[in-house]
Amino acid sequence: MLELEAITVTAAVIENDGQVLIVRKRAGTRHAGRWEFPGGKVETGERPEACLEREILEELGIHVRVGQFLCESVYAYPHATIRLLAFRVDWRAGLIRLTDHDAMAWVPPAALSNWDLLPADVPIAEALAASRSRSTVQEIDR
């Protein structure tokens, strides 16, 4: 059996007013029309946090600060196994301009399951929805 290449990729969880940014892969790319959290492939010798800052600047044209690690997702696509590392990210400067994607959306975490997310991104959406519902429960308990 052929062993698939394992690729480490980062994903940014950028929040604004209780919503999370997702982007849609443009036509002519692998997984065109599917939604994902922005980010990209970690280069050899690169720290995931540095990768995420670089990728967000390249893909969205904005400067960010990488914060807390959120979760890891591993998914075997036909072309490769993806190890996706998701981090919370603070938007520091710049205006979003899409280069690798053809659309973006700000989505409440609880509604992410309604979007056609790539399989590796689904556990991130689930973690966000779960953490949001836990914080809501904690607020009600006070």
> Which residue is listed with tokens 């308990």?
141
Q: Which domain holds residue 110?
A: 7-141
Report if residue 1 sits inside a domain: no
Token pair listed for 53: 């800052």
Residue pLDDT, tens place only, 43-94: 999 999 999 999 999 999 999 999 999 999 999 998 899 999 999 999 999 9
Secondary structure of residue 56 in the 3-state scheme: helix
Is pLDDT above 60 for 139? Answer: no
Report if residue 78 sits inside a domain: yes
Average pLDDT, the chain: 90
Q: Which band of pLDDT confidence, cut at 50, 70 and 90, is reported for residue 28? A: confident
- Average pLDDT value for residue range 8-33: 94
Compute the distance between CA of residue 142 and CA of residue 139 in angstroms, rounded to an integer: 5
Compute the distance between CA of residue 52 and CA of residue 42 in angstroms, rounded to an integer: 8
Q: Provide the β-strand partners of residue 7.
A: 82
Is pLDDT above 70 for 112? Answer: yes
pTM of the entire predicted model? 0.88
| Cβ atoms of residues 109 and 125 within 8 Å | yes
Report if residue 2 sits inside a domain: no
Q: Which band of pLDDT confidence, cut at 50, 70 and 90, is reported for residue 131? A: confident
CATH number, position 21: 3.90.79.10
